[in-house]
Amino acid sequence: MILVGDIGGTKTVLEAGRLQEGRWLPAFGARYAAADHGGFESVLRQFIGEWSLQDPRHAPVTAACFGVAGPVADNRAQMTNLPWIIDGAAISRSFAIPRVNVINDFAAAAHGIALLLPADLAVVQAGAPIARAPRLVIGAGTGLGVAHLLWADGAYRVVAGEAGHGGFAPTNAEQVELWRSVHAQCGRVTIEHIVSGPGLTRIYKFVDRDAVARGVDVTPAAIVARALEAGDAASLRALDLFIACYGEAAGNLALSVIARGGVYIAGGIAPKIFRRIAQGGFISAFNAKGSHSAVVQQMPVTVVLNERLGTLGCALVATMD
């Protein structure tokens, strides 16, 4: 039995199960709000307790892998948006798990691409894929995750980083004004300040400047609901600006490796707003690269509809020798 987890800034998803013939078969899973716990070991104790209540005779855990939203070094991560430290060696000792891997959450997502089914993907741009060419995985949620897949020694190798903390580059007058608005609040403006759940809230406040004073709900879920279900003009404007910034950033990062192997838009937000993404604003911004527009137009772009991508990748890593 192996244990996998996707540890984000607002929630943690844990599953126990087996990987058989390229398919992840979970035996037990649960989701926990980060706000309810002081650290990851508290979450893990609760999960194991609940699992043992459901199945007192479950097989012992022989390996675990946790994808963590933050940089990882020496099998240990300090989370970016939570004051949590995830230490593989400490978890191994505390929970008697022989092998524990701690990896970046988008390294996990990149590994998970190999286990996706066709139904898990929605095409935004067919492009002209090249076998073994570089791939990009990018996804907005509480933050913005990025990883690359590069072919070497007969297989794709995952290279994760913190590109979401690179600088945001506005491309038109409206985005320049947005940059100024966020700069006044945050100082240096990163891509993640704009392309993330909190970023969507910042964009909405920029679009409707007295929304908070009027008591308008400016949470990402409320903005998306008003835009897609009620057709609210301010919410649609904010969402479309968010989508354009998302597409622009994804195209820039795809250019950095000429991602003709495919660009995968993951994270928790994209599946929820896919029907608006599919209307063209995302791919228009993605492809608007001046003299290199023809290059990015050849890149396949898909939205990952399966929100368990990170746990799939952790399952694969946990079974690697």
Domain total in the chain: 2
Stretch 245-251: mean pLDDT: 98
Say yes or no: 55 and 96 in one domain.
yes
Residues 321, 116, 120: CA angle, nearest 5 degrees: 160
| Alpha carbons 60 and 278: distance in angstroms, whole number | 44
Tokens 């990009």 correspond to 136
Q: Domain span at residue 158? A: 118-305
Torsion over CA of 44, 149, 265 and 108, rounded to 10 degrees?
0
pLDDT in tens, 106-120: 999 999 999 999 999
Confidence of residue 310 (pLDDT cuts 50, 70, 90): very high
* Per-residue model confidence (pLDDT) at position 307: 87
What is the sign, positive or negative, of the torsion defined by CA atoms of 231, 233, 236, 238? Answer: negative
**103 and 123 inside one domain:** no
| 168 and 103 in a common domain | no
Whether 90 and 126 share a structural domain: no
Span 61-80, pLDDT tens digits: 999 999 998 889 999 999 98
pTM: 0.93
Q: Are residues 105 and 139 in the same domain?
A: no
Measure Cα distances from 22 to 18, 132, 136 in Å.
10, 20, 22
Is 33 in the same domain as 94?
A: yes
